[in-house]
Amino acid sequence: MTRHVEHVMGTVFSFDVRPIDGHHDDGRHDDEAGPRVAAALAEAVAWLHHVDAVFSTYKPGSPVSRLGRGEITLADCPPEVADILRMCESVSRLSHGYFTACPGGRLDPSAIVKGWAVDRASVILREAGLPDHCVNGGGDVRLSGAAAPGRTWRVGVAHPLRPGDLAAVVSGHDLAVATSGTAERGAHVLDPHTGRPATELASVTVIGPDLALADAYATGALAMGGAAREWVEGLDGYEAFAVTAAGATWHTSGL
């Protein structure tokens, strides 16, 4: 297997690429597996740095920062900015406004960007002929293929109230797992309807086919509090596991 760690977008991204068999359908042996993995990883890492350059709210010169200050228009931004903002608007409508691209009144689509970036990094690896891999972007995880022949991937969900403990373990093939919570940054997600920090839930983990949406849904669900369970039940293809501020847990029916 090949592992790589990259510090970008203000967090740590890790890649775990499992071996390829090195054989083609016509019986030829592929002696270039190592360079192919290295090239694919380099492309995926370059993509993450591009996303950081475009979307970082910590870089004053990024298109998103300049757009938020009104210095440029959406037409002046790279086309992916409009794509992300359209996704944000869609999730905002679906979540009854609990997810927003402007938390606290400031343009910041980060809650969907990281998952979206990881999804694309995973596509880069798959297109390079590396179907079995895990990409972890600061705890938001894209699982592709299998961990090994006949073995599913397993992802631990950190307990937000008991450092070092796991609250749950998610296993499967071709899954996205995203968590939003208070463990690392405190109550940093605001309820857009009140402007106050969301504190009813300590963490929400959303599992589904698309990490960009799972990432955004987890943020919206955390802001939603107790209503999140019923809301996620209505989302097609997505499930959730949550830990309340009091330490109780719940999960949706399909998990």
* Tens-digit pLDDT profile for residues 77-113: 999 999 999 999 999 999 999 999 998 899 999 999 9
The span from the CA of 197 to the CA of 191, in Å, is: 6
Q: Give the closest residue to 213 by CA, choosing from 156, 133, 158, 140.
A: 140
pLDDT of residue 38: 94
Is pTM, for the whole model, over 0.75? yes
Q: Could you tell me what percent of the chain has a pLDDT over 90?
A: 78
* Overall average pLDDT of the 118-142 stretch: 95
Structure confidence by residue, pLDDT tens digits, 143-152: 999 999 989 9
Give CA–CA dist 11/212, Å, rounded: 17
d(CA 163, CA 208): 25
| Identity of the amino acid at 141 | V
pLDDT class of 29 with cuts at 50, 70, 90: very low
Q: Which whole number is the average pLDDT over 33-62?
A: 95
Residue 134 confidence class, pLDDT cut points 50, 70, 90: very high
Name residues whose C-beta falls within 8 Å of residue 146's C-beta, 6 or more positions apart in sequence.
18, 132, 152, 153, 173
- CA–CA separation, 190 and 198 (whole Å): 5
Query: What is residue 21's predicted lDDT score, i.e. its pLDDT?
Result: 61
Q: What is the predicted pLDDT for the residue at 26?
A: 39
Tens-place pLDDT, residues 162-219: 998 999 999 988 999 999 987 666 667 888 888 888 889 999 999 999 999 999 999 9
pLDDT at 188: 78
pLDDT of the residue at 1: 84
What is each CA distance from 146 to 75, 119, 246, 251, in whole angstroms? 41, 16, 36, 25
Q: Is 246 helix (H, G, I), strand (E, B) or coil?
A: coil
